[in-house]
């Protein structure tokens, strides 16, 4: 008898890491549900997934809205009868001077990086608890363990992701559900490019090329991460990793995060 397809939900699937993870899941024969507030990017990802013959669902919505996170999980379950994998990839970060921090940026950052992620994890965890199986992978960041005064909201939000990963892993362990996280290094995503350009301006650096080269030089492997490399790490945890690994943070940062 043919094994049923694994059912996955990827947030922030409209581009970057989320799109690559979704495509890799499709290549592995999974059904893939895609969520993002960027409807145009989401449809482009859906076309790529469909071209691989994978069944897919799209949820073009802002996950910070009341009920959106739980409603997305409910939508997947209504269509496919369950959920085997959740990849919490959706995220937001912006540079803001420490002495000019604003409540609006903190609210926006925590809403998507922490609150939406927690609600998705809880909703998906409840489904997986009933199934007595499932895997959740959260995307964290080396920033969660660094002192970044001009990126404080983002760093704090990712520290919260680390905490949620540990807490939910313990809550779900008795039911055979695994929860882990991946901490990517510097990737050439739109958010990374915007963040570094803003940081350069804040520091009065006009030669962006040199500024970026200096930052890349901090990585022990001497280069930036390919998006596909980080996506492969997510896929390993979501699909291939042994079933005894949970509550772990897997660094895919080229040695930038060494603990």
Is residue 154 part of the annotated active site? The answer reads yes
Q: Determine the CATH number of domain 7-185+227-252.
A: 3.40.50.720
Domain boundaries, the chain: 7-185+227-252, 186-224
pLDDT in tens, the chain (259 residues): 557 799 999 999 999 999 999 999 999 999 999 999 999 999 999 999 999 999 999 999 999 999 999 999 999 999 999 999 999 999 999 999 999 999 999 999 999 999 999 999 999 999 999 999 999 999 999 999 999 999 999 999 999 999 999 999 999 999 999 999 999 989 988 889 999 999 999 999 999 999 999 999 999 999 999 999 999 999 999 999 999 999 999 999 999 987 6
DSSP-assigned states of every residue in 123-156: HHHHHHHHHT-EEEEEE--GGGGS--GGGHHHHH
Among 141, 152, 146, 143, residue whose Cα is nearest residue 117? 141
Of 92, 151, 154, 244, the catalytic one is 154
H or E element in which residue 179 lies: strand 177-184
Give the position of tokens 């008795």: 174
């Amino acid at each position: 008898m043919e094994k049923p397809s694994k059912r996955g939900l990827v947030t922030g699937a409209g581009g970057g890491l989320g799109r690559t993870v979704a495509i890799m899941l499709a290549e592995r024969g999974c059904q893939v549900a895609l969520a993002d507030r960027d409807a145009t990017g989401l449809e482009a990802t859906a076309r790529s997934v469909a071209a691989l013959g994978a069944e897919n669902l799209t949820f073009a919505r802002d996950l910070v809205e009341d009920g959106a996170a739980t409603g997305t999980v409910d939508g997947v379950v209504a269509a496919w009868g369950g959920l085997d994998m959740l990849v919490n990839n959706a995220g937001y970060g912006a540079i803001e001077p420490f002495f000019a921090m604003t409540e609006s940026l903190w609210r926006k950052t925590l809403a998507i990086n922490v609150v939406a992620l927690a609600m998705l994890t809880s909703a998906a965890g409840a489904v997986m608890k009933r199934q007595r199986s499932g895997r959740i992978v959260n995307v964290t960041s080396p920033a969660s363990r660094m002192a970044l005064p001009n990126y404080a909201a983002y760093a704090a939000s990712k520290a919260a992701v680390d905490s949620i990963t540990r807490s939910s892993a313990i809550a779900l362990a008795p039911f055979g559900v695994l929860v882990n996280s991946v901490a990517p290094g510097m990737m050439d995503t739109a958010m990374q490019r915007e963040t570094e350009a803003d940081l350069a301006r804040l520091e009065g650096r006009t030669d962006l090329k040199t500024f970026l080269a200096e930052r890349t030089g901090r990585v022990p492997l001497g280069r930036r991460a390919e998006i596909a490399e980080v996506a492969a790490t997510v896929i390993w945890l979501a699909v291939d990793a042994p079933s005894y690994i949970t509550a772990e943070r897997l660094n895919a940062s080229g040695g930038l995060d060494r603990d």
